[in-house]
Chains A and B, each alone.
Chain A
């Protein structure tokens, strides 16, 4: 199962990169960034999976003594948890920039912003 999700994650990452590099519409680029984000999170979480493991929450099924043998790795999950929230903040920031750019030029095409090019 972890192989399948790892492969899915890599394919989603490459699809997101494709969307970032081929589109000239800024909003489509931002959609590509959010797809890239999702793929990266899938990859990290599937690297944390231990065969036959359960969630890192101790209860009557997984006692405190046998936690080492039964749970999956909790550290990458904690990192992904914060990464998702940061991803939302950065996406919102990019969208605010896109609105500002659209206000200046009335266009979302990245090729129309050539002011710093000579």
Chain B
């Protein structure tokens, strides 16, 4: 029963974070929200009795892939100059 309540609370948080990741104007906030979505998904995997998957998702989905996104974003920003800063 308590697992059900926890999973519903997690689900509400995850849907909010997904909304931020899809609709937020700033790209940095969207990338971080996608990483946070992975982190909450790893908690959900733990509730679903899958600790192996939870470890992988926590290390890869929210750590390494966010870092790679940031490297690319930094590269594109520095080559872009000052104009159209708000789209990137």
Contacts and interface: CB of A to CB of B under 8 A. Distances in A.
Given A27-B73, A72-B50, 18 more contacts: A4-B4, A5-B7, A7-B11, A25-B87, A28-B30, A31-B31, A38-B41, A48-B48, A72-B49, A77-B50, A81-B56, A84-B56, A87-B60, A87-B65, A88-B65, A95-B68, A106-B79, A106-B80
A32 B38 CA distance: 13
Interface of B: 3-4, 7-8, 10-11, 14-15, 18-19, 21-22, 27, 30-31, 34, 37-38, 41, 44-45, 47-53, 56-57, 60-61, 64-65, 68-69, 72-73, 75-76, 79-80, 87-88
Contacts of B15: 8, 11-12
Contacts, number: 135
Nearest to B51: A55
Nearest to A44: B53
Interface of A: 1-2, 4-5, 7-8, 11-12, 15-16, 18-19, 25, 27-28, 30-32, 34-35, 38, 41-42, 45-46, 48-49, 53-57, 72, 77, 80-81, 84-85, 87-88, 91-92, 95, 98-99, 102-103, 106, 108
Contacts of B72: 27, 95, 98-99
Contacts of A1: 3-4, 7, 47-48
Given A27-B72, A103-B79, A49 B22 contact: no
Nearest to A50: B49
Given A5-B44, A31-B30, A35-B37, A15 B18 contact: yes
Nearest to A4: B7
A28 B41 contact: no
Contacts of A5: 7, 11, 44, 47-48
A100 B32 CA distance: 23
